[in-house]
Structure 1
Amino acid sequence: MEPIRISYFSDVLCVWAYIAQIRLDELNTNFQDKIAIDYHFVSVFGNAREKLENRWRDQGGFKGYSDHVHDVVQKFNHITVHPDIWTDMIPPSSMSCHLFLHAIQLLEIKGIVPKSEKMFEKATWTCRERFFKDLADISDRTVQFEIAEALGLPIAAIQAQIDSGEAYAQLSKDFDLVKEHTVSVSPTLIFNEGRQRLNGNVGYRVIEANIRELLNNPSDEQSWC
């Protein structure tokens, strides 16, 4: 049986995607070869500073948004955030990091790094963690290459994927998929060729129930419900 394909859209600077990582890990552990997650990026924080300035101007600005993030995180005991998140250091954009991560993804596609090592997933998580816990400016290429070096990834090969335009093509593909599926929330999970979706802070059991329904009711079978 072919694995169920799940399209997962997120932004590396999104606190809800940071929170949701544990749910993806649980899915991969529990379903293993029964599911295949296709990772894509949605540019919620593509223009982070201006977006937050405009949306939080009447709610305390960057400090107001920082307080909001802290309030959100207090409800979860599996993650932490830096006390000065979104105040002392504000990345201008998530897009640079998304491009960097797609370059790593290409290394896996091309076999330059083994897919079995899941370096794309590790790098994505490390970028999130470095921002939320350490307040690192993950939009900065120097910081990105520091992350790559710490993971043992070939920096020259990553830069080559960016210089060739191939990483940009992957990012452009994400833009097209975001438009096609009208994705506006991070994270968003899309199942069943676009017929099912879960947006935002969705609990693990809800995600699991959707997967089990698809496993028990293949697409070529009729379901009464």
Structure 2
Amino acid sequence: MTKPVLVSHFSDVLCVWAYVAQIRLDELREQFGEDVVIKHHFIPLFGCTENRIGDGWKDRGGFDGFSDHVLHVCEEFPHVQVNRDVWKNCRPKSSASTHCFIKAVQLLEEEGVVSCKPEQSLNGRTLVEEFVWQVRLAFFRDAQDISNYDVLTTIAKSLGLSLTAINERLKRGEAIAALCRDAELKELYRIEGSPTYYLNEGRQKLYGNVGYRILEANILELMQNETGDLASWC
């Protein structure tokens, strides 16, 4: 039995390109199952939205201009929904607090001490993946401020997560330590943006709006190399 292909996935929860690309991660799980392991890492592209959007888009309409940009992007992807209030009337201050909360959930899943409600469907995703997806939906579809702790706890409770366990990882510094490690890996792997798929110890690094067939081809190549089915021409 060959070992699964590891895909290190880097994203910012407020990144529209990561939002529209979730369907590709879902398809990877559907097609490859346990032959692919997806490890999620988070980078603060929107760590300070006032700087990134308010100042960075000052000459292009600021937050309103960026909102129009996000709406335009989503028009090209009918499988996602976007609220017209996103970045206009709903302006999260930072993705960093959200990422820290997510890392607490991720730590619990890795420790095997969390569970969802029995009737809760995760749509083929891991628990942390479903949590991240619900967070993205809360922002992009429902225009909720996902940098707000209360919004995150509401989502966590809807998935049957233990707020006591999450808060313990936050209070003890474990979640922020895990998030800092993601930042270190971003620098080590030279990750340029969100989303980025990092494979084969960096020999294959796919960034941005990458089509599913490209992801599939890279993974199939790695699987064939692992089994020895792909002859080398050199």
TM range (shorter): over 0.9
| Aligned residues: CA RMSD | 1.8
Residue deviations 1:62-96 (CA, integer Å, cap 9, x gap): 11111111111000110010011111011010010
User: TM-score under structure 2 normalisation?
Assistant: 0.92
**Is 2:166 the counterpart of 1:158?**
yes
Structure 1 residue runs of 5 or longer lacking an equivalent are: none
Q: Is the 8 A contact 2:14 2:95 kept in 1?
A: yes
Amino acid at match of 1:159: N
Task: After TM superposition, give the deviation of residue 5 of structure 1 in Å.
Answer: 0.5
Q: Is the 8 A contact 2:115 2:161 kept in 1?
A: no
Q: Is the 8 A contact 1:49 1:91 kept in 2?
A: no
Task: After TM superposition, give the deviation of residue 224 of structure 1 in Å.
Answer: 2.9
- Secondary structure at 1:198 match in 2: strand
Identity of aligned residues (%): 47
- Once residues 177 and 140 of structure 1 are traced to their aligned partners in structure 2, the CA distance between those partners, rounded to angstroms, is 26
Structure-2 residue corresponding to 1:147: 155
User: TM-score under structure 1 normalisation?
Assistant: 0.95
Amino acid at match of 1:109: E
Amino acid at match of 2:170: I
Aligned pair count reads: 225
Residue deviations 1:158-199 (CA, integer Å, cap 9, x gap): 000100111111101101100001112100000001111000
- Once residues 198 and 101 of structure 2 are traced to their aligned partners in structure 1, the CA distance between those partners, rounded to angstroms, is 24
Structure-2 residue corresponding to 1:89: 90
Structure-1 residue corresponding to 2:143: 135
- Once residues 223 and 209 of structure 1 are traced to their aligned partners in structure 2, the CA distance between those partners, rounded to angstroms, is 17
Task: After TM superposition, give the deviation of residue 114 of structure 1 in Å.
Answer: 4.7
Residue deviations 1:21-51 (CA, integer Å, cap 9, x gap): 0000000010011111111001110111221
State the 4+ residue runs in structure 1 displaced beyond 6 angstroms. Answer: 219-222
Amino acid at match of 1:194: G
Matches within 5 A, 1:64-75: 64-75=65-76
- Once residues 225 and 71 of structure 2 are traced to their aligned partners in structure 1, the CA distance between those partners, rounded to angstroms, is 40
